[in-house]
Chains A and B, each alone.
Chain A
């Protein structure tokens, strides 16, 4: 084995595995927190565990992992219970309930630390925020034959093992109870009536969140836990509209963030000539933020870009229809349809109108000659139906709605684009009593 590889195995592999397992567990559970709109529960729990940690130390007098974990998990469960109780018995919103509970518990922990535990506990703020990923060194043999033995693998840092077990347990639970979690998050009332009591399922789920948060937080720090409970699920939500694919995508994003973030933190500074690596947890959280931002921009249906493309397309479609109807009206009055005049009558911007003109010409609806527009045969058919709808709406608004004839044009300009969502056809008001619209123009017959 080369020295570089040996260095990677002993220094980097442990942190990468621990971070990946922690990120995947948090992201899996985070999906259901985000969907239930209680995303900040992880934040609340990771702060509120302090009194539990101090109390466990005061009782046992050690900082062994097991009593620490039990104390923290108990505090986490108390937090969840208090938040649920506050939601049920007061009228404050969940965010405020979480804020009250975790700040008070955290303060209680600080006081207990000061009074009871004195200086015997060193609670390093750095450690709480960033975790101890960098400290997970694997004392690995330098022969391949010895690396792949049970003893060597068992000597992986304790946190790696803990988090691996947590990740496996969480994955199994989410897979097995997927149907129950889905219905309880979506429709708690129906779930309860069908025999899946929503409050009990939520309670157990929150206890699981508390355990996972506490287990992860020792290794990767509170910031990363909070980021991983929210960022990968939120990013995945932007990318898909199915719960199953959202959960799987969030797991993938979380794993990529863990590996990518660690790589950037450990080796990134070297690429720029800096000698020291940066905090791995911090970098993974930043990468997850970048993932979220990219998903916001690039999401296929909910992304900013996709949405603005859709909006622009719709604006061009509407401008095309308005343009056809305008040319029809000009021809009706036997006036030349000059392109410059179109911009004055039609509300769309100049660029949209240019694009609309190009589109109508390309589709063979309009012919442009010397700055004048003329309808083709197909174009006239489309325009006739549009003008018919417009004038039907005007008549409808005047006859049935009691509007004055000079108040209905703008409303009809909007209504004429309305489409029945079920049948995807243009909505058309009933025939009026006269064949003329309120402005005494003929309503074209149905083609």
Chain B
């Protein structure tokens, strides 16, 4: 069924498709996502090279967060297939980590730094099984790695923005995943935290972990990342930073040419609503 929708999808002849392989941590085939019938991502194809650090960039409303959420099944896909190392997400769950945007949670929630980082172990513990002593040990090491030792029993509202982001990062590390999705890990953090996060991400890459970040700061793309995906409701370009991060591609991503696609989305939504 997914194959069918793929051959019917509008853009299937327009772009060259890379070879999909079972070694790729993430293969996305012809994924389309719509919110209330309004398409926000059109026919996206993407293969993540293993062990790379990938930035997803694009203007607001380009569907960057939606891309991540759709890969993880947090929003419904209208069509397309997503595979992790050649398997569906269900079978690869433990190998995939997720760092949502900091605003996605209520920081007044009555939990401590330790509680939040332990949540990274919940997937391994599974239903009904409590967190073990070994899990707490791992969590405590991860807190150490992000430089928050001594903050374990702090309630999370008593942290600065940068510290909160580090808590999220420690929680992701506690997942011990091979592929991470991070939604704007550098948003609203201080310079010291940004450096600390980059160092950690590069450590992860050195161990062969793949990291996919939604990123906003075009200035740092070349220093922080080795691959880049330019997205504006579809993938405009993707590849190594040196090949894809070009002024021409940036202009095509951020420039006005795509308003046509946005207008078409509106028109599709209107037609489907019958207004």
Residue ranges of A at the interface with B (Cβ–Cβ < 8 Å): 35, 37, 89, 176-177, 179-180, 182-183, 185-187, 189-196, 237, 240-243, 246, 421-422
Q: Which residue of B lies closest to A198 (CB)?
A: B74
Q: Which residues of A contact B72 (CB under 8 A)?
A: 192-193
> In the bound complex, how far is the Cα of B35 from the Cα of A89, in angstroms?
10
* B105 partner residues in chain A, CB cutoff 8 A: 186-187
Judging by beta carbons under 8 Å apart, are A176 and B110 in contact? Answer: no
Within 8 A of A (CB), among B40-77: 69, 72-74
Report the minimum CB–CB distance from A426 to chain B (whole Å): 16
Closest to A192 in B: B74
Contact of A196 among B116, B122, B163 (CB under 8 A): B122
Q: Do A242 and B69 touch across chains, with their CB atoms under 8 A apart? A: no
- State the CA gap A240–B93 with chains docked (Å): 34
On chain B, the residues within 8 Å of A185 by CB distance are 109
Most buried by A among B69, B74, B155: B74
A183-B119 CB under 8 A given contacts A189-B104, A246-B110, A421-B163: yes
Q: How far apart sit A263 and B69, CA to CA, in the bound complex (Å)?
A: 54
Question: B247 near A: Cβ within 8 Å?
Answer: no
B141 to nearest A CB, angstroms? Answer: 20
Cβ distance A239 to chain B, nearest Cβ, rounded Å? 10
Instruction: Scan B190-225; emit 1 where CB is below 8 A from any A CB, else 0.
Output: 001000000000000000000000000000000000
A-B contact sample (4 more), CB < 8 A, given A193-B74, A194-B119: A179-B125, A186-B106, A186-B116, A194-B123
- Contact check, B110 vs A241: say whether CB atoms are below 8 A apart: yes
Given the complex, which residues of B lie within 8 Å of A182, measured CB to CB?
111, 115, 119
Please measure, in the bound complex, the distance between the C-alpha atom of A193 and the C-alpha atom of B172, giving whole angstroms: 12
CA gap between A5 and B96 in the complex, in Å? 64
CA distance A243 to B130 in the complex (A): 15
Q: Tell me if B131 counts as interface (CB < 8 A to partner A).
A: yes
Instruction: Report A249 CB to chain B, min CB distance, Å.
Output: 11
Can you list 12 A-B pairs, Cβ within 8 angstroms, ordered by A? Answer: A35-B106, A37-B106, A177-B128, A180-B127, A182-B119, A190-B119, A191-B122, A192-B72, A192-B73, A241-B112, A242-B115, A243-B111
Q: Are B98 and A193 in contact (CB under 8 A)?
A: yes
Measured between beta carbons, the chain A residues less than 8 angstroms from B100 are 187, 189-190
Q: Please tell me if the beta carbons of A242 and B98 are within 8 angstroms of each other in the complex.
A: no
Q: Is the C-beta of B3 less than 8 angstroms from some C-beta in chain A?
A: no
Q: Which of A89, A182, A196, A237 has the most CB of B within 10 A?
A: A182
Residue interface bits B108-142, CB-to-A below 8 A is 1, else 0: 01111001100100110111101100000000000
| Contact present for A186 and B109 (CB under 8 Å) | yes
Which of B98, B130, B131 meets A190, CB within 8 Å? B98
Tell me which residues from 85 to 107 in chain B have a Cβ below 8 Å from any Cβ of chain A.
Answer: 93, 96, 98, 100, 104-106
* Chain A residues, Cβ within 8 Å of B171: 190
Complex alpha-carbon distance, A241 and B96, angstroms = 30
Residues of B within 8 A of A (CB): 36, 69, 72-74, 93, 96, 98, 100, 104-106, 109-112, 115-116, 119, 122-123, 125-128, 130-131, 155, 159-160, 163, 171, 192
A115 to chain B, nearest CB (A): 35
Residue of B nearest to A236 (CB): B110
The residues of B that contact A246 with a CB separation of less than 8 Å are 110
Q: Bound complex: CA of A194 vs CA of B110, how far in Å?
A: 21
Question: Do B119 and A186 touch (CB < 8 A)?
Answer: yes
Alpha-carbon separation in the docked complex, A193 to B155 (Å): 24
Most buried by A among B36, B123, B155: B123
Residues of chain A within 8 A (CB-CB) of B104 are 187, 189
CB <8 Å contact, A421 and B109: no
Chain B residues, CB < 8 A from A35: 106, 109-110
Q: Chain B: which residue is nearest A195 at the CB level? A: B93
| Contact of A194 with B93 at beta-carbon distance under 8 Å, contacts A189-B69, A189-B104 already known | yes
Most buried by A among B73, B122, B192: B122
Minimal beta-carbon separation of B194 from chain A (angstroms): 14
A189 touches B110 (CB 8 A): no
Q: Which residues of A contact B163 (CB under 8 A)?
A: 421-422
Instruction: Kindly state the separation between the CA atoms of A37 and B112 in the bound complex, as whole angstroms.
Output: 20
Closest to B129 in A: A179
**In the assembled complex, which residues on chain B have CB atoms less than 8 Å from the CB atom of A195?**
93, 123, 126
Is A189 a contact of B109 with CB atoms below 8 Å? no
Minimum CB–CB distance from A112 to chain B (whole Å) comes to 33
Inter-chain contacts of B131 with A (CB < 8 A): 179
Q: Which residue of B lies closest to A237 (CB)?
A: B110
**Chain B minimum-CB-distance residue to A194:** B123
Closest residue on chain B to residue A301 by CB atoms? B155
Q: How far is the CA of A180 from the CA of B106 in the complex (A)?
A: 17
Q: Distance (Å) between the CB of B136 and the closest chain A CB?
A: 13
- Which residues of the partner chain B approach A242 to less than 8 Å between Cβ atoms? 110-112, 115, 155
Return A3 CB to nearest CB of chain B, in Å: 48
Q: What's the Cα separation between A242 and B154 when bound, in Å? A: 10
CA distance A241 to B156 in the complex (A): 9
Instruction: Point out the residues of chain A lying under 8 angstroms from B106, CB to CB.
Output: 35, 37, 186
Do the beta carbons of A240 and B192 come within 8 Å of each other? no
Nearest A residue (CB) for B159? A421
Are B119 and A240 neighbours in the complex by a CB distance under 8 Å? Answer: no
| Alpha-carbon gap, A240 to B112, bound state (A) | 11
Contact check, A186 vs B128: say whether CB atoms are below 8 A apart: no
Known: A179-B122, A186-B119, A243-B115. A193 touches B109 (CB 8 A): no
A183 to B105, CA, bound (A): 11
Report Cα–Cα, A194/B112, bound state, in Å.
20
CA distance A359 to B6 in the complex (A): 75
Contact B73 A243 (CB under 8 A): no
Q: How far apart sit A121 and B100, CA to CA, in the bound complex (Å)?
A: 53
A246 to B110, CA, bound (A): 8
Chain B contacts for A186, CB-based, 8 A = 105-106, 109, 111, 116, 119
Most buried by B among A35, A237, A240, A241: A241
A237 to B95, CA, bound (A): 35
- Please give the distance in Å from B77's CB to the nearest CB on chain A: 14
B160 partner residues in chain A, CB cutoff 8 A? 421-422
A176 to B130, CA, bound (A): 9
Residues in B with CB closer than 8 Å to A37 are 106
- Specify which of B106, B110, B119, B128 lies most central, judged by the most chain A CB atoms within 10 Å of its CB: B110
Q: How far is the CB of B110 from chain A (nearest CB, A)?
A: 5
Interface centre among A186, A192, A196 (most CB of B within 10 A): A186
Closest to B109 in A: A186
* Nearest CB on A from B132, distance (A): 12
Separation in Å of the B177 CB from the closest CB of chain A? 10
Contact present for A241 and B98 (CB under 8 Å) = no
